[in-house]
């Protein structure tokens, strides 16, 4: 009976990550709600998102797939496959950031600025905050990457990797939400 009760408990670090993701969700819900309220007040400039945001979206979706496959490989103790998949995820995460930066540069080249019209400011603040969360995810991915290539492994616990994967999938889903939101409000 005691063993069954233990299995139903969520790991404290997983619980903390779920709380953090709930808080981040609320923050972005507030941002997008404020965007819609401010849009309704007028003095709003509509613009098209640069095409480069499409490949960046595809990149982060693929990185989520490689992350999921990496967790599966780790749990199956297929360490070579895990290393290849986590390496691919890191590269794709960095590529996403680079493509986003290129998109920001294209916006800037078309005179869409952080300190411009409120619509432009919202775009830069919201996507910039997402990019900040992606950067945190990339740092965590790099830690997982370096641990994957250690020669000495003490424990094969998947908990930390599962937490990282949950966060990575979360920022992926968050970007898809934001991308669709901005496309619908062009």
Give the CATH number, domain containing residue 54. 1.20.120.80
Does residue 169 fall inside a structural domain?
A: yes
What digits encode the pLDDT tens for the residues 12-29?
888 888 899 999 999 999
Does residue 43 fall inside a structural domain?
A: no
How far lies 101's CA from each of 17, 18, 69, 108, 131, in Å?
Answer: 27, 28, 27, 10, 9
What is the distance between the alpha carbons of residues 2 and 110, in angstroms, rounded to a whole number? 63
What digits encode the pLDDT tens for the residues 25-81?
999 999 999 999 999 898 888 888 999 999 999 999 999 999 999 999 999 989 899
Mean of all residue pLDDT scores within the chain: 90
What digits encode the pLDDT tens for the residues 105-141?
999 998 888 887 888 889 999 999 999 999 999 999 9
Q: How many CB atoms lie within 10 A of CB 168?
A: 26
Structural domain total, the chain: 1
Nearest by Cα to 32 from 179, 178, 133, 172: 178
């Amino acid at each position: 009976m005691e063993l069954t009760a233990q299995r139903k408990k969520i790991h404290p670090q997983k619980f903390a990550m779920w709380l953090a993701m709930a808080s981040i969700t609320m923050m972005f819900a507030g941002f997008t709600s404020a965007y819609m309220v401010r849009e309704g007040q007028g003095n709003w400039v509509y613009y098209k998102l640069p095409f480069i945001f499409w490949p960046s979206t595809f990149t982060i979706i693929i990185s989520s797939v490689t992350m999921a496959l990496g967790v599966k490989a780790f749990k199956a103790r297929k360490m070579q496959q895990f290393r290849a998949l986590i390496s691919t995820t890191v590269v794709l995460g960095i590529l996403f950031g680079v493509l986003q930066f290129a998109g920001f540069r294209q916006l800037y080249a078309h005179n869409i600025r952080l300190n411009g019209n409120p619509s432009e400011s919202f775009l830069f603040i919201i996507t910039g905050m997402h990019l900040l969360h992606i950067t945190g995810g990339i740092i965590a991915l790099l830690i997982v990457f370096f641990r994957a290539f250690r020669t000495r492994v003490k424990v094969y616990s998947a908990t930390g990797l599962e937490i990282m994967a949950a966060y990575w999938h979360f920022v992926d889903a968050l970007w898809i939400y934001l991308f669709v939101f901005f496309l619908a409000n062009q």
